Amino acid sequence: MDYTVRIGPYQLANKVICAPMAGVTDHTFRELCRRFGAALAVSEMLSSNPQVWQSEKSQNRMGHRQESGIRSVQIAGSDPAQMAAAAQYNVEIGADIIDINMGCPAKKVNKKLAGSALLQYPELVEQIIQAVVKAVTVPVTLKIRTGWDTDHRNGVQIARIAQDNGIQALAVHGRTKACMYKGEAEYDTIKAIKQAVSLPVIANGDITTPEKAQYVLDYTGADAIMIGRAAQGRPWIFREVAHYLATGKKLAAPAIAEVQQIMLEHVQGLHQLYGVHLGPRIARKHVGWYLAEHDAQGVFRSEFNAIEQAERQFEALNDYFHKLAAT
């Protein structure tokens, strides 16, 4: 059995990909996920609007050449010419793959007719894909949802448009735009898409365990799976899933000492990436995810969220793990 997948000239090491998540999959997080087995980690989405490219937030997201592994950069927008220009710009600064976002259900994205709102307009979808593919020489991939609501699951139509216009891999989240992240992901549409096209299809949505990853691959026939929210506070899920897919055997959960080491490294990376003022604030949500199982009542998280100083965050985390190890 082949445990890998190819996107253009790139042979991925396995079938497990880290999904792009706004405010989560920054450089620090992507590096961790790759280290723990993600064959590809897609960047946070970047606006195609050049007026925001010089903002601090955009600049933090655009350090592509500092990235290890294959650099897949996701862009979002609704104007074909702007999307083409954004693709060119990101390739110039180091992107190996351009990923088009037509999957984000966030209102602030959709009100600009970007993200999953585009699924309502297949002609515009085609124009954007054509413009981006023509603008760059690197592979162009696409992320979509199954449709814009449960009465309009047009994922197969969009997939055929993508294939006919040069998209080299298609990731599909098993919910519609209207579903947001509510309810459960459905995989029938992903299965239908895989049967309708020959390009690599990547299944996404509610893949939280190695067993679920295997089930989704088997049920849909997809070429790979993409993990998003299940990796928050759990970057080692990629090694667990990759190992299970290759061997059929489960890895032991990381020891608490390893969780401590991973989290401290993550927090330190966030401090370095965002600075001593913003870094500690961004670290709070990640620490909450890491400790969700151990701090179920949120007592430590409440205390941690009041800490403003980077150095004090490390002290508090080390104290917490020392007490945890003693129990």
Selection from 148, 162, 181, 210 nearest residue 225 by Cα: 210
Which residues are CB-contacts of 209 (< 8 A; sequence separation ≥ 6)?
230, 241
38/241 Cα distance (integer angstroms)? 9
| Residue 110 pLDDT greater than 80, yes or no | no
Asked whether the beta carbons of 6 and 12 are under 8 A apart, the reply is yes
Asked whether the beta carbons of 9 and 139 are under 8 A apart, the reply is yes
Asked whether the beta carbons of 155 and 185 are under 8 A apart, the reply is no
Is 275 annotated as ligand-binding?
Answer: no
Same domain, 119 and 152: yes
pLDDT band at 1 (very low <50, low <70, confident <90, very high): low
Average pLDDT in the 114-125 region? 93
Is 191 annotated as ligand-binding?
Answer: no
In a domain, residue 209? The reply is yes
Same domain, 282 and 236: no
Q: Which of 18, 33, 104, 179 is catalytic?
A: 104
Same domain, 241 and 279: no
pTM for the whole thing? 0.94
pLDDT tens track for 235-281: 999 999 999 999 999 999 999 999 999 999 999 999 999 999 999 99
Q: How confident is the model at residue 75, as a pLDDT?
A: 95
Q: How many residues does the chain have?
A: 327
Is 21 annotated as ligand-binding?
Answer: yes
The owner of tokens 């920054």 is 26
Is 61 annotated as ligand-binding?
Answer: no
| Residue 207 pLDDT greater than 70, yes or no | yes
In a domain, residue 190? The reply is yes
State the CATH number of the domain containing residue 80: 3.20.20.70
Kindly report the average pLDDT of the chain as a whole number: 93
Same domain, 183 and 307: no
Our answer to whether residue 179 is catalytic in this structure is no
| Residue 57 pLDDT greater than 80, yes or no | no
Same domain, 126 and 202: yes
Same domain, 144 and 173: yes
Same domain, 73 and 207: yes
Same domain, 146 and 260: no
| Residue 61 pLDDT greater than 70, yes or no | no
Same domain, 38 and 138: yes
Same domain, 212 and 275: no
Is 174 annotated as ligand-binding?
Answer: no
184-198 in b/e form (b: 16+ CB < 10 A) is: ebbbebbbbbbeebe
Same domain, 120 and 157: yes
8-state DSSP, 42: B
Last residue of a domain, one of 247, 276, 296: 247
Q: How confident is the model at residue 325, as a pLDDT?
A: 83
Average pLDDT in the 26-34 region? 95
| Residue 112 pLDDT greater than 80, yes or no | no
308/305 Cα distance (integer angstroms)? 8
CA distances for 72 relative to 56, 141, 158, 219, angstroms: 20, 9, 21, 27
Domain count across the chain: 2
**Full residue range of the structural domain in which residue 263 is found:** 256-326
Last residue of a domain, one of 247, 266, 285: 247
pLDDT tens track for 279-319: 999 999 999 999 998 888 889 999 999 999 999 999 999 99
| Residue 327 pLDDT greater than 80, yes or no | no
In a domain, residue 1? The reply is no
Same domain, 165 and 270: no
Last residue of a domain, one of 194, 224, 247: 247
88/135 Cα distance (integer angstroms)? 6
- Alpha carbon 258 to chain centroid, angstroms: 23
Share of the chain above pLDDT 70, in %: 95
pLDDT band at 54 (very low <50, low <70, confident <90, very high): low
